[in-house]
Amino acid sequence: MTALLSWLHGTTPGLLLLCAAAIAVLLFLIIKIKLEPFVSLLISGLFLALAAGLGVNEIVGTALSSSESLLETGFGGILGHIAPIIGLGTVLGAILERSGGADVLTRRLLKLFGPKGAPVAMGLAGLIFGIPVFFDIGIFVLAPLVYVAAKRGGRSLVLYALPLLAGLSMTHAFLPPHPGPTAAAGLLGVGLGWLIVMGFVCGIPAFVAAGIAWPLWIAPRVPVSIPDDFLAAGSDGDAAEDGPRSPVSLATVALVIAIPLLLILGATFGTIMLPEGGTALQILTFLGNPAVALTIAVLLAFYLLGVRRGMTVAEFSELTGASLRPVGMILLVVGAGAFFGKVISATGVGSALAETLSGAGLPLIVLAYVISCGLRIAQGSATVAIVTTGGIVSPLVAGGDYSQVQLALLAVAIAAGSIIASHVNDGGFWIIAKYFNMSVKDTLKTWTVLETILSVVGFAMAGLLWLLV
């Protein structure tokens, strides 16, 4: 037994075997036992730490203090970075949703592109509105407008739904302030400005392939009708957006969405173009901090989309509280994933992986993508795939000389792997099947392939840029 433990703790194959066993425990708990991902990640991390021979004090601290433990630093380190970003981004999206901003944006795009260009209009609506709004919320809000476009166009619902879904999925996977990319940035130590740039550079071609080209090919082969309950309601999509309150302007919606992105990018590029220590750079750095930028955007949205249209502080407080309730579990999953990563680093698994990679000649970005794909296909959750892969990869990053651009591309690759091949173990699969009137077979033929195209093209772009930088 002593010899076996020495082999597990002191050799590269032994450490890799321990890591594989911990991931197997994680998948078993999520898939078979049906435990919450947060609890499963916590158990897997503790299992790996104990199996690798780490001391109890190192894992959980002492009876008097746990501030230096892996459990404490794992959770605290990542949550201090991402919690305000995800929380503020969620509130911003909720204000845009409540104000009717999605309706204004989508109707203007449909009018601009006309009946023939309606699929492109729906794709752009998903792309733009998906920046501040969670994926499933985007579906709930915009699905009726997809029905309107399909009713007027007279073609398969698939032609209008898939572009929207591609836009929502691309932004949710690749761009902050969504939980997955924000968590990846925190785990890998990359600035959100660079992640926004690389997310767009890699995500837009993926969106065109998955959200424009693919629907044009598959829609004639998968005829799907508009849901009967929508037809029974007799809606033509011309109702007022927000009851008695004045409609919002497209310019206001665009300003609220663009402000945080521009501030964050201003700080990122300011560090390159402006002299260090200058007043201008300090101002840009402050305003471009993601938490500060999103706070400004939330206050601006509250005034322009709320106060000026009759929203009271009490209504804003109610909206904020309701929108933040689902965020708690996301943050717990991310924190547990960061703890898992801390354990991997402390056990020496990261160094063992680095040795194996250097010996096999396998690029780090390929390894990250493959691991993320495997975890996504096995257990269905994109967030779990990202935080687990980030935990495995982060020790390798710490030991290498990687630029911010490379780290951003690595985060994009992990995010791309986390959305591949959505199928029956993914909650989003069933939401899409229900909202867009598709059978399981039709959803597999349309949505599952769309997500795979989005994943593969996004990773291909990241891999190509990785070679160039």
User: Residue 458 corresponds to which tokens in the numbers above?
Assistant: 């996004």
In a domain, 63, yes or no: no
> Which amino acid, one-letter code, is at 444?
L
Whether the predicted pLDDT of 357 surpasses 90: no
User: Residue 337 corresponds to which tokens in the numbers above?
Assistant: 């994933």
Burial (Cβ within 10 Å: 0-12, 13-18, ≥19) of residue 105: buried
Residue 77's contacts (CB-CB under 8 Å, 6 or more residues apart) are 338, 342
Whether the predicted pLDDT of 241 surpasses 50: no
Local confidence band at 69 (pLDDT 50, 70, 90 cut-offs): confident
Please give the DSSP secondary-structure letter assigned to residue 426. Answer: -
In a domain, 65, yes or no: no
> Which amino acid, one-letter code, is at 203?
G
In a domain, 132, yes or no: yes
d(CA 338, CA 334): 6
Lowest mean per-residue pLDDT among 23-37, 61-75, 229-243? 229-243
Mean pLDDT computed over every residue of the chain: 88
User: Residue 416 corresponds to which tokens in the numbers above?
Assistant: 């791309």
In a domain, 69, yes or no: no
Helix, strand, coil % over all residues of the chain, rounded to 5 = 80, 0, 20
Local confidence band at 242 (pLDDT 50, 70, 90 cut-offs): very low
Tell me: the pLDDT tens digits for 4-14?
A: 556 555 577 77
Contact 371, 356 (CB under 8 A): no
Lowest mean per-residue pLDDT among 100-109, 368-377, 429-438? 100-109
Residue ranges making up the domain that contains 92: 2-52+81-468
Q: How does DSSP assign 281-335, residue by residue?
A: HHHHHHHHSHHHHHHHHHHHHIIIIIGGGT--HHHHHHHHHHHHTTHHHHHHHHH
Taking the CA atoms of 17, 19, 25 and 26 in sequence, report the sign of the dihedral they define: negative
| Number of domains the chain contains | 1
Burial (Cβ within 10 Å: 0-12, 13-18, ≥19) of residue 67: exposed
Q: What is the mean predicted confidence (pLDDT) over 109-118?
A: 90
Long-range CB contacts (within 8 A, 24+) of 6-11: 8/51, 8/52, 9/52, 9/53
Task: Output the pLDDT for position 64.
Answer: 56
Task: Output the pLDDT for position 171.
Answer: 96
In a domain, 75, yes or no: no
Do you know the residue count of the chain?
469
Task: Output the pLDDT for position 399.
Answer: 67
Whether the predicted pLDDT of 439 surpasses 70: yes
- What residue has token string 């021979």? 53
Give, in degrees to the nearest 5, the angle at Cα 314 between 313 and 317.
85
Q: What percent of the chain has pLDDT over 70?
A: 91
Task: Output the pLDDT for position 67.
Answer: 63
In a domain, 72, yes or no: no
In a domain, 118, yes or no: yes
User: Residue 391 corresponds to which tokens in the numbers above?
Assistant: 């935990």
Contact 444, 209 (CB under 8 A): no
d(CA 266, CA 271): 9
d(CA 452, CA 81): 30
Local confidence band at 369 (pLDDT 50, 70, 90 cut-offs): very high
Q: What percent of the chain has pLDDT over 90?
A: 50
CA distances from 9 to 14, 54, 122 (A): 6, 10, 54
Please give the backbone phi and psi of residue 401, each rounded to the nearest 5 degrees, phi first.
-100, 80
Task: Output the pLDDT for position 244.
Answer: 46
Q: How does DSSP assign 374-437, residue by residue?
A: HHHHHH--HHHHHHHHHHHHHHHHHTS---HHHHHHHHHHHHHHTTTT--TT-HHHHHHHHHTT
User: Residue 23 corresponds to which tokens in the numbers above?
Assistant: 């991931």
Local confidence band at 55 (pLDDT 50, 70, 90 cut-offs): confident
d(CA 161, CA 123): 8
Tell me the three state secondary structure of residue 231.
helix
Residue 298's contacts (CB-CB under 8 Å, 6 or more residues apart) are 88, 91, 92, 95
Tell me: the pLDDT tens digits for 283-306?
A: 999 999 999 999 999 999 999 999
Task: Output the pLDDT for position 238.
Answer: 46
CA distances from 110 to 128, 356, 436 (A): 14, 52, 19
Contact 389, 411 (CB under 8 A): no
In a domain, 57, yes or no: no
Which of 457, 459, 454 has its CA nearest to residue 369? 459
Tell me the three state secondary structure of residue 164.
helix
Q: What is the mean predicted confidence (pLDDT) over 96-111?
A: 88
